[in-house]
Amino acid sequence: MTSDPVVQWQPPLLAVADSGVFPLRQVWCVGRNYAEHAREMGVDPERSEPVFFAKPAACMHQQRSVTYPADTTELHHEVELVVFLSGGGRNLAADDWEQHIFGYAVGVDLTRRDLQARFKQSGQPWELSKGFDQAAPIGRIVPASDWKPEPSAAIELQVNGAVRQQATLAAMLWSVPVLLEQLSRSVTLGAGDALMTGTPAGVGPLQVDDRVTARIHGLPVLEFSVREQ
């Protein structure tokens, strides 16, 4: 008689500001949540609905450098507010969302844009343009008791000190509660889930040796560099 193989694994553990960790279960993302970004991607924001997609949880990390990925010559930055859940369920009501929020962080939804364009053109799913090693760097998570997403909060991304993306959270087409309400009509949300809430205009390519600084007012700054393979 042979014994069952033992699988050693634990979920990604993300650092929380001051102390503690957040065990990550799954990462949802939304596309086209800022009108100017929808336009720069060739989509009419008046006619668009939130587009939900996922990244593998293993993509999310807090390392200080990202290795330039394979299969692209066009690695794009997308600065985003990231929401972390302590609970959830199906069909969440937009007026009862706050009890499910664990906290918030600033993150970057790294995208292999050339690959995404090819997948879109051929009508194929574009997971691999969004899901690859280190594709979701985030800053430290701040508990919801210490920070709320005020519409006036500035969201910004700099590359080597030059501003590339700049907006306020007021420019989000769908607020955090509306996104949670809509996504939970389709999937069960739960403790350990993250939602990347979309990016403002100004997305663009990163090069090896670039230094990226991503900020949302009041949250710990996210800084990382891009390293050669």
Chain position carrying tokens 């991503």: 214
| Residue number with CB closer to Mn ion (78 or 181) | 78
Left, alpha or beta for 62 (phi > 0: left; psi -120 to 50: alpha)? alpha
Helix, strand, or coil (residue 59): helix
Compute the least distance from the CB of residue 61 to Mn ion, in Å.
16
Is the CB of residue 159 less than 8 Å from the CB of residue 210?
Answer: yes
* Residues of the shown chain interacting with Mn ion in the complex, contacts defined by CB under 5 A: 78, 109, 199
| Residue number with CB closer to Mn ion (192 or 198) | 198
Compute the least distance from the CB of residue 141 to Mn ion, in Å.
18
Compute the least distance from the CB of residue 3 to Mn ion, in Å.
44
Chain position carrying tokens 């090693």: 133
Compute the least distance from the CB of residue 32 to Mn ion, in Å.
9
Chain position carrying tokens 């009108």: 35
- To which H or E segment does residue 128 belong? helix 127-130
Is the CB of residue 193 less than 8 Å from the CB of residue 88?
Answer: yes
| Residue number with CB closer to Mn ion (59 or 89) | 59
| Residue number with CB closer to Mn ion (36 or 87) | 36
